[in-house]
Amino acid sequence: MKVDRHFPTRYLLVLAMAFVLVSCSGTDQATTALAGSDPLADFVPAVSATGMVKPARWATLSFPGGGLVREVLVERGDQVNAGQVLVQLGSVDQVRASLTAAQLELISAQQAYDALFENADLVTTQAQLALAHARDALEDAEYDWQVLQPGYRASGDTIDAAEANLVLADEEVDRAQQVYDHASGEAGKALALSNLIAARKQRDSIQRNLNWYLGSPTEIDQAIQDAELAQAKAQLAAAEKEFAKVENGPDPEAVELTQARLDNGKAAVAAAESALADTELRADFAGTVSDVYIRAGEFIGPGQPIVLLADLSELIVETTDLNEIDVARVAVGDSATVTFDALPDVELQGTLSYIASKADPGTGVNYLVEVQIGGGFPESVRWGMTAYVEVEPGP
């Protein structure tokens, strides 16, 4: 008789025991033993199901955007580390240049931001000095404007002294004129003329000063003084404003501006890094390259499958035909024995790690159950093999 491998071994043992007992039913002792106990009463049959071997972790990797494939850096069967570059697009160099430019701008922005606080004391001192100079300049402008006005050009004593000096100068001119008029000889005439000219210059100088003391500014002079005074006042106001900004630390407007530049630099670097990531396909986890779907020089579209990556260090079996009656008898954590059609000498132990809460669509009412095999399995156990699972239901 051919025995189905799905039929649990314990069923065969129980049937054999029953056959022996029945064959001995002619004796009184055997009859008494059979009458007093039922060997099948405590028997709990195992749950059997068919499944498929899969990695515990696998992924089909793709690019979020399209482009020309520049280089494929891996082949089927390669072992790769997490983060390793697998495929590059043709735009990778351009994006790297953009990233470098963004990083340089970020460094410059950071330096400008730091300098605001590092040089805060120096900037405050310079602003305070500029304010002092502006105040001095305003005082000078106010004085120049004031002394230009009538009645403010000189004191009474200065005017009196100038008038007295003018009288004396006139007398000196008259005396020099008389000397010149009576001089004889070329030398005498020349000396007298030189003294007369000098006396006249001295008198004219005193007269000009007195005229200025007693006079009024011209329209042009007054306009110049008005403009210079207004300019000095404006410069003082600007110096006061600048000092107020930095009196207690860096200028808030400058801080806000450099902070905005710094934030923009960080955003630009992040955007460039993201763009670079979109041109390089990297391994999400360490594993084996199970398949490569493209070649260098091909144009790919967004989301197109590129590389199939799997972590083959840990395998699971997904059942495909566990019915609603049997699924009600098992629980996560139950032990399971896994065998294979292709490997009759291999028997592995596993544990139920997942039971679906909803039946799979298809023929009948079947539930997906995962059996975790773990490590230590032979290399001959491969992804996609058919497996048979016997679950020992818990109490």
Amino acid at site 371: V
- How far is Cα of residue 18 from the mean position of the Cα atoms in its chain? 75
**In this structure, is residue 119 part of a structural domain?**
no
Domain-located, residue 135: no
Q: How open is the CA angle 371-372-374, to the nearest 5 degrees?
A: 150
User: What is the rounded distance in angstroms from the CA atom of residue 215 to the CA atom of residue 122?
Assistant: 48
Q: What is the pLDDT of residue 214?
A: 81
Are 2 and 80 part of one and the same domain?
no
- What pLDDT sits at residue 2? 34
Phi, psi angles (nearest 5°) of residue 152: -120, 5
CA distance linking residue 333 with residue 116, whole number of Å: 63
Max Cα–Cα distance, the chain, nearest Å: 191
Contact (Cβ atoms closer than 8 angstroms) between residue 376 and residue 347: no
Position 10 scores a pLDDT of 42
pLDDT of residue 44: 58
DSSP 3-state percent helix, strand, coil across the chain (nearest 5): 50, 20, 30
Burial of 202 (0-12, 13-18, 19+ CB in 10 A): middle
Angle, in degrees to the nearest 10, between helices 9-23 and 28-36: 140
Give the separation between CA 122 and CA 258, rounded to whole angstroms.
Answer: 18
Angstrom distance (rounded) from CA 312 to CA 78: 12
53 located within any domain: yes
* pLDDT the model gives residue 27: 42
Residue 239 lies in a domain: no
DSSP output for 305-346: EEEEEEEEEEEEEEES-EEHHHHTT--TT-EEEEEESS-TT-
pLDDT at residue 137, rounded to an integer? 94
Helices (H), 183-218: 185-214
Q: Rounded to an integer, what distance in angstroms lies between the CA atom of residue 276 and that of residue 91?
A: 9
Q: How many domains does the chain contain in total?
A: 2
49 and 38 within one domain: no
Q: Is residue 2 part of a domain?
A: yes
Phi, psi of 348 (to 5 degrees): -115, 155
Question: What pLDDT is stored for residue 149 in this prediction?
Answer: 83
d(CA 338, CA 47): 12
Beta bridge partners of 60: 308
10 Å CB burial of residue 118 (0-12, 13-18, 19+) is: exposed
Interatomic CA distance for residues 226 and 220, integer angstroms: 10
Per-residue pLDDT of the chain (395 residues; tens, 9 = 90+): 333 444 444 444 434 444 434 444 444 444 444 444 555 555 557 899 999 999 989 999 999 988 999 999 999 999 999 999 999 998 888 899 999 999 999 999 999 999 988 888 888 899 999 999 999 999 999 988 888 888 777 788 888 898 899 899 999 999 999 999 998 888 888 999 999 999 999 999 999 888 888 878 888 988 998 999 999 999 999 999 988 888 888 888 888 999 999 999 999 999 999 998 899 999 999 999 999 999 999 999 999 999 999 999 899 999 989 999 999 999 999 999 999 999 999 999 999 999 999 998 876 899 999 999 876 788 899 999 999 999 988 77
Do 4 and 70 sit in the same domain of this protein?
A: no
Task: Assess if residue 1 is contained within a domain.
Answer: yes
Q: Please, which residues bridge with residue 347 across strands?
A: 339
Residue 39 confidence (pLDDT): 54
User: 364 and 312 in one domain?
Assistant: yes
Q: CATH no. for residue 373?
A: 2.40.30.170
* Cβ atoms of 346 and 378 closer than 8 Å: yes
- In 73-221, which ranges are E strands? 79-80, 85-89
Residue 20 belongs to domain spanning: 1-43
Together in a domain, 307 and 377: yes
Do 387 and 306 fall into the same domain?
yes
Residue 116 is predicted with a pLDDT of 87
380 and 327 share a domain? Answer: yes
The pLDDT of residue 150 is 80
**pLDDT on residue 13:** 40
Instruction: Say what the pLDDT of residue 43 is.
Output: 56
On whether residue 349 sits in a domain, the answer given is: yes
pLDDT at residue 309, rounded to an integer: 97
Whole-angstrom Cα Rg for the chain: 54
Q: Is residue 164 situated within a structural domain?
A: no
Nearest in space to 369 (alpha carbons), one of 359, 356, 388, 360: 356
Tokens in use for 311?
Answer: 């972590």
Number of Cβ atoms within 10 Å of the Cβ of 142: 15
